[in-house]
Structure 1
Amino acid sequence: MLSSLTVKNYALIQSLNVDIFSGMSVITGETGAGKSILLGALGLVLGKRADLSVVYDKNQKCVVEACFNVKDYDLIEFFEKHDLDFEEITTIRREILPSGKSRAFVNDTPTNLSVLTELSQKLIDIHSQHETLQLADQQFQFEIIDAIGVNKFLLNQYQEIYKERRILKKELRSLEEQIEKERENQAYNQFILDELQAANLKVGEIEMLEDVLHKLSHAEEIQNNLVSAVDLADDEQIGLNSNLILFKSFVDKIAKYDRNFQIIFERLQSNIIDFQDIVDELRNEMDRVEADPDQLQRTNDRLQLLYDLLKKHRASDIEELLIIEKDFERKVNLTEQATDLIKIKENKIKQVEEELTILASQISDNRKEAADLFTKRLHEKLSFLEMKNTRLNIVFSKATILLSNGFDEMNFYISSDAGKTFDLVKKIASGGEMSRIMLAVKNILSQLSQLPTIIFDEIDTGVSGEVSKKVAYVMKEMGRYMQVLAITHLPQIAANGSHHYKVFKDVSEGSVTSNIKELREEERIKELAEMLGGKELTASALAHAKELLSV
């Protein structure tokens, strides 16, 4: 429910603040006083686009702020989805800066117009004569029947599963396309896979083979140097082993005389042991290292194969080649398992469609019951609004496919005169008739489902006499279930509001501004009398005004 509206520096409004209450409130004022400006300002917080031309003083920013009590509207999920702070009293603010830039805030959190528009649709419904065409919109027709049929939970379930079905169908198409593509490349994929598998790839093999190749390529040089090194160590006359042993004996003789000599002796002894181990290893290598042309060729061939595979697949190492091998294995297996994969996906889709069909059937049953209830109540309401001969006929048919909201196809047909055949709602020409039909529709909905605040923007145009009283009664009745704001030029409707606001122009120091105020009882009588008889107040007009208020 809209609880307050503040407007600053918008069109003819310098500064305005008004509190708005539950039930039915009415707004009146002379033509041109600014009622449409007030709606325009409200439109800004509801997500309408704006530019600098609507700003009263171009050097100051324009601010429009509306507060809504949203505790009964189940909006917590919406606020979480859009990263907005949820407050039971939610404030929507719109600013237009002197630069022309526009900003929007929900509870002081910046947001964009699309979010603002989506939120406003859940909070307020501005209903004018030209919007009566909404009744011809099939989506709106379904919203009516589903609201009355209490289908919200079932529809949420249905749409979640419908979304799953859409994803599954997309996956199936993608799988079929992929399989078809791989079938065309099956021979090539198999050839590449065989080639890679035959290579028996091993991580680190290239580095190992390169070491072997390097060693085999220099086998003769390695052998010659090994022989020379070992001979130098083992020679009886000048061998390093003999000399080191002799060197050790000299140090051993003086080790007992000084601690430092003892430490040097121990180090020397350790080094001699290490040296002898090195000579033994070199001696062993002499037996292992020999020129082997066959092994050299095999190593070269293996390395060349691996180099060729790296180049062919533009891989940097064996790890990447193994990943490529896995991918080709998947492609080959995909083709081989195609029938099974498609069958699994088709069975899942079939299972989901069965669930959808069950839900769609329940939704359809609820709709048909709701349609009967709705048409019965609508006929009663239209009869009260002096449209006794107007009849609505809701025709259902079953679609050949599952739709996003079930399997129902539904059309509203109306006959506006006795004896006339029924025709689609969109072909009804009379705006006055459509206004009353929409009023009746919204009245029924207000009693059967949670509706946002509704603003009737002079939908009573072309209505007078007894009908205007009944229109007023229907609006007032709606005010028992929801917040109703009626901008009207009819005193019969204005008299039925629990609260009465007047929009007026204020001429001061050569400038004209618009403002609004809530009327007290005496002011209200005067306003109604002027609406009845003009500016020249007469006793009869005043008496009639009092009578209207007392009814």
Structure 2
Amino acid sequence: MLKQLSIKNYALIDDLNVKFSHGFTTITGETGAGKSIFLGGLSLVLGKRADRSTLRDQDNKCIIEAEFEIGSYNLREFFANQELDYDDHSILRREILPSGKSRAFINDTPVTLDVLSALGGQLIDIHSQHQTLKLTEADFQMKVVDALANNRAVLHDFREKLAEYRDGEKQLQALIDRQQQALKDYDYHSFLLKEIEEAKLEGVNQEDLEAEHEQLTHVEEILEQLSQASQTLQDEQMGLLSTLGQLKQICNKLSPFGQHFQTIADRINSVYIELDDLAAEIEQQQESQVVDPARLEKVGATLQSLYTLQKKHAVATVEELLQIKQELEDKVLDTNNLDSQIGEMRLTLDNLRRQLEEMSLSMREQRTRVIPNLVSELESMLKPLGMPNARFKVSLQELPDFASNGKDSLIMDFSANMGSGFEPLKKVASGGELSRIMLVIKAVLARYENLPTMMFDEIDTGVSGEVSNRMGDIMTQMSRRMQVFSITHLPQVASKGDQHFKVFKEDKEGVTHTRMKQLQPEERIVELAEMLGGKSLSESALAHARQLLN
């Protein structure tokens, strides 16, 4: 429910602040008084786009605020999804800056225009000639039928299942595409994997292999050098050990003559021990060196295979090759597993499809049940609205695939005159007829759905007398369940409001301003009398005005 509206620096409005109540509110004013300006300002705070041309004073910003009571609209989830603070009394604010840029706020939190518009659409339904065209749209027509069929809960579940089903279809197609590509690559990946497996890389140390290959390749040269080293150390005449042994004996004879001679003798003895151990090591190496052409060939082949694989896969280590091997194993295994994954996904989709079919059938049965009642009710409500011969033919047509509303499309044909055939509503109904049809549809919907505040913008244009009186009655009945506004030129409608506002222009200090005020009982009588008989008030017009109010 709209509780309060504040508009500053917008078009001909410098500062407007009005409060509204529950029930039926009527808004009147002469042509050009600014009712469209009021509606335009309200549209801005509901998310309509604007530019700086709307500013009354081009040097100051325009600020529009609307306070709503939203406790009955089930909007907590919306606020949570948008990360907004929820309050049963929420304020929407729009600012148009002199630069032309705009800002939007919900409860003082900045939001995008899309978020403001999404919330605004759930708070106020502005019914204008443009909005009347929605009546000819299949989705809106289906919404009306579903409201009467009480399909809201199953439709909510259906749409969640349908989203899951569509997502599953995408996943299945992705798996099929992946399988097709995997099958193309399967032979190649298998060949690469076999190459690496045949190299038997587990436990291979590339550095050790390279060292062994180097040693096997130069084994004869190594033996020759070791022989010379051994001879240098152990030759009986000139060997280092023989010479060092003599030096050791000499120094041992000096050791009794002082500590420093003893130290020298100990050091020479240590060198002799180390050199003797070195000679034994060289001799051991001589014995271990073997000329082994077969081993050399095997190590060389292993290394060559390793180098070939590393070059092929653009890596430099055995560890990297083993990682590639694991990746190839995963790809080959993945190819083998895709069949089962595709099978499982198809089973899941079959199950979802069965559920969707059942839901679609359930909704179709409910729709089929209520359509005759809807047709009868619309036709009976339109009779007193100057459409005594209005007839509807509403039918369901099964779709080949699921849509957002199930598997049905709704066909609503209309005939306004006796003897005329049925045609699609948008082809044969005039603008005035569409407005009246929309009014009765909204009245029907109000009994089944918690509708937002309804703003009827001159829906009664082109009608008068008893028809306008009946339209006013319908809006009054709607206002028992919801807040209803009617911007009207008809006194019969204006008189039915629980509160009555007048929009008017005022010239002050050479500047025109649009004002809006709530009329008191006597002011209301005068306004209705002027609507009935013009500015020159007559007693009969005043009496008629009083009669309308009573």
- Structure 1, unaligned runs of 5 or more: 255-260
Aligned equivalents of 2:274, 2:547: Cα separation in 1 = 124
Q: Which residue of 1 aligns with 2:349?
A: 349
Q: Which residue of 1 aligns with 2:48?
A: 48
SS class of match (2:389): coil
Q: Trace 1:113-262 onto structure 2 (pairs within 5 A).
A: 113-202=113-202, 205-213=205-213, 228=229
For the Cα contact (< 8 Å) 2:233–2:241, is it kept in 1? Answer: no
Aligned equivalents of 2:275, 2:5: Cα separation in 1 = 98
The 3 A distance-change label for structure 1 pair 188 and 360 is: same
% identical equivalent positions: 42
The 3 A distance-change label for structure 1 pair 165 and 320 is: farther
Q: Trace 1:83-94 onto structure 2 (pairs within 5 A).
A: 83-94=83-94
Aligned equivalents of 2:66, 2:34: Cα separation in 1 = 18
Aligned equivalents of 1:73, 1:296: Cα separation in 2 = 86
489-498 or 124-133: which moved more?
Answer: 124-133
For the Cα contact (< 8 Å) 1:169–1:349, is it kept in 2? Answer: yes
Q: Which residue of 2 aligns with 1:515?
A: 515
Aligned equivalents of 1:56, 1:206: Cα separation in 2 = 83
Relative to the length of structure 2, the TM-score reads 0.87
The 3 A distance-change label for structure 1 pair 290 and 512 is: farther
Q: Which residue of 2 aligns with 1:3?
A: 3
21-30 or 338-347: which moved more?
Answer: 338-347
SS class of match (1:471): helix
Aligned equivalents of 1:365, 1:420: Cα separation in 2 = 30
SS class of match (1:463): coil
Q: Aligned AA for 2:398?
A: K
For the Cα contact (< 8 Å) 1:203–1:318, is it kept in 2? Answer: no
The 3 A distance-change label for structure 1 pair 294 and 469 is: same
Aligned equivalents of 1:271, 1:444: Cα separation in 2 = 115
Deviation at 1:426, TM superposition (A): 1.1
For the Cα contact (< 8 Å) 2:201–2:318, is it kept in 1? Answer: yes
Q: Which residue of 1 aligns with 2:458?
A: 458
Aligned equivalents of 2:384, 2:488: Cα separation in 1 = 20
Work out the number of aligned pairs and report it.
537
For the Cα contact (< 8 Å) 1:230–1:283, is it kept in 2? Answer: no
SS class of match (2:463): coil
1:427-447 deviations in Å (ceiling 9; x for gaps): 123211111111000011111
The 3 A distance-change label for structure 1 pair 532 and 323 is: farther
Q: Aligned AA for 2:344?
A: I
Deviation at 1:336, TM superposition (A): 4.9
SS class of match (1:86): coil
Q: Aligned AA for 1:473?
A: D
Deviation at 1:483, TM superposition (A): 1.0
For the Cα contact (< 8 Å) 2:241–2:272, is it kept in 1? Answer: no
Deviation at 1:473, TM superposition (A): 0.6
Q: Aligned AA for 1:171?
A: Q
Aligned equivalents of 1:301, 1:208: Cα separation in 2 = 15
Aligned equivalents of 1:329, 1:478: Cα separation in 2 = 70
**1:447 aligns to 2:447 (yes or no):** yes
For the Cα contact (< 8 Å) 1:95–1:104, is it kept in 2? Answer: yes
Q: Trace 1:231-380 onto structure 2 (pairs within 5 A).
A: 288=288, 292-315=292-315, 317-333=317-333, 336=336, 339-380=339-380
For the Cα contact (< 8 Å) 1:503–1:515, is it kept in 2? Answer: yes
Aligned equivalents of 1:486, 1:229: Cα separation in 2 = 119
For the Cα contact (< 8 Å) 1:27–1:485, is it kept in 2? Answer: yes
Deviation at 1:355, TM superposition (A): 1.2
185-194 or 18-27: which moved more?
Answer: 185-194
310-319 or 226-235: which moved more?
Answer: 226-235
SS class of match (2:447): helix
Q: Which residue of 2 aligns with 1:432?
A: 432
For the Cα contact (< 8 Å) 1:232–1:238, is it kept in 2? Answer: no
SS class of match (1:448): coil
For the Cα contact (< 8 Å) 2:124–2:454, is it kept in 1? Answer: yes
The 3 A distance-change label for structure 1 pair 37 and 283 is: farther
Aligned equivalents of 1:320, 1:387: Cα separation in 2 = 84
Deviation at 1:515, TM superposition (A): 1.9
Deviation at 1:538, TM superposition (A): 1.8
For the Cα contact (< 8 Å) 1:382–1:388, is it kept in 2? Answer: yes
Aligned equivalents of 1:548, 1:277: Cα separation in 2 = 130
The 3 A distance-change label for structure 1 pair 291 and 437 is: same
1:367-416 deviations in Å (ceiling 9; x for gaps): 22232332233233223434232122210122222333211121112222
SS class of match (2:57): coil
Aligned equivalents of 1:413, 1:403: Cα separation in 2 = 21
The 3 A distance-change label for structure 1 pair 465 and 66 is: same
Deviation at 1:354, TM superposition (A): 0.8
Deviation at 1:350, TM superposition (A): 1.5
SS class of match (1:122): coil
Q: Which residue of 1 aligns with 2:538?
A: 538
Aligned equivalents of 2:93, 2:202: Cα separation in 1 = 66
For the Cα contact (< 8 Å) 2:233–2:279, is it kept in 1? Answer: no
The 3 A distance-change label for structure 1 pair 289 and 430 is: same
Q: Aligned AA for 1:56?
A: R
What is the Cα-based RMSD across aligned positions, in Å?
3.5
Q: Aligned AA for 2:500?
A: H
Q: Which residue of 1 aligns with 2:79?
A: 79
Deviation at 1:201, TM superposition (A): 3.2
410-419 or 447-456: which moved more?
Answer: 410-419
Relative to the length of structure 1, the TM-score reads 0.86
Q: Which residue of 2 aligns with 1:408?
A: 408
Deviation at 1:496, TM superposition (A): 0.8
The 3 A distance-change label for structure 1 pair 70 and 208 is: farther
Deviation at 1:334, TM superposition (A): 5.1
Deviation at 1:211, TM superposition (A): 4.9
The 3 A distance-change label for structure 1 pair 8 and 205 is: farther
Q: Which residue of 2 aligns with 1:257?
A: none
52-61 or 212-221: which moved more?
Answer: 212-221
SS class of match (1:357): helix
Q: Which residue of 2 aligns with 1:258?
A: none
Q: Trace 1:486-501 onto structure 2 (pairs within 5 A).
A: 486-501=486-501
- Structure 2, unaligned runs of 5 or more: none
The 3 A distance-change label for structure 1 pair 236 and 84 is: same
